[in-house]
Structure 1
Amino acid sequence: MKISVALLWFTGLAEAFLAIPLIGGGFVISTGYSALGIMFVLHAITLFFCFREFSPKAGSILGIITSTIAWIPGVGWVFHLITAVVLLLSATFTRNRV
């Protein structure tokens, strides 16, 4: 499996967790919003590998945007949800050619 596909799955599942109402928001707040910074770094790393391995980049770019604006309560939930769907669909439909 390509590294980029594994990272798309990982970041997609992490975004899906953050999109769970109250639980995801509670987690972000309990970490002092550092979870958003960690997600920003993970999306940047994923984007690097997506460029390197010619994998879909839209989910990682959207994830970077989400990490920067997710501190806004309602907007953050919507963006986490959309980003999770895009990342998981990208991971699902990416061919694993080595």
Structure 2
Amino acid sequence: MSISRVLKWISGILELGLALPIIGGSIVIFSGYSALGFMFVLHLVTVILSVRNQEPAYGSLFGIVTSLLAWIPVVGWLLHLIAGILCIITAIKKSPRYNYPPNQF
């Protein structure tokens, strides 16, 4: 399993944790919104590694948007929920195999 897939699992679980209505909102507010900054960096690193490994990165890209807009109360809850689901879906997907042309000898 690649590091990017592990980071997708971690970010997906953390996003779903932040999607819990009272608990997630409390974590964001009591951390002084630094939890959103942490998630932004985590998603950014995951996107870079995913692109490098030629894996899907749409979950983490949506997570970056979520980190920027999640300070809005109800919108933040919905965005965290969607980002968490998308990150886990991309973590489940297998990375593409490299198809080299067959030898012609």
TM-score of Structure 1 vs Structure 2, range by shorter chain: over 0.9
Q: Is the 8 A contact 2:15 2:84 kept in 1?
A: yes
Q: What letter matches 1:31 in structure 2?
A: S
Which of the two has higher C-alpha Rg?
2
Q: Note the C-alpha offset of 1:94.
A: 2.5
Tell me how many residue pairs correspond in the alignment.
98
Q: Which residue of 1 aligns with 2:89?
A: 89
Quick check: 1:44 aligned with 2:55? Answer: no
Gaps of 5+ in 1: none
Work out whether residues 54 and 96 of structure 2, in 8 Å CA contact, stay in contact via their aligned partners in 1: no
Higher relative contact order (CA 8 A, sep 6+): 1
Using the size of structure 2 for normalisation, the TM-score is: 0.89
Q: Deviations 1:4-53 (Å, cap 9, x if unpaired)?
A: 10010010001010001100000000100000001000000000000111
State TM-score, norm by structure 1. 0.95
5+ residue gaps in structure 2? 98-105
Counterpart code for 1:57: A
Amino acid at match of 1:56: P
User: Deviation above 6 Å: which 4+ runs of structure 1?
Assistant: none
Over aligned residues, Cα RMSD in angstroms? 1.5
In 2, distance between residues paired with 1:88 and 1:69? Answer: 20
Change (3 A) 1:83 1:64: same
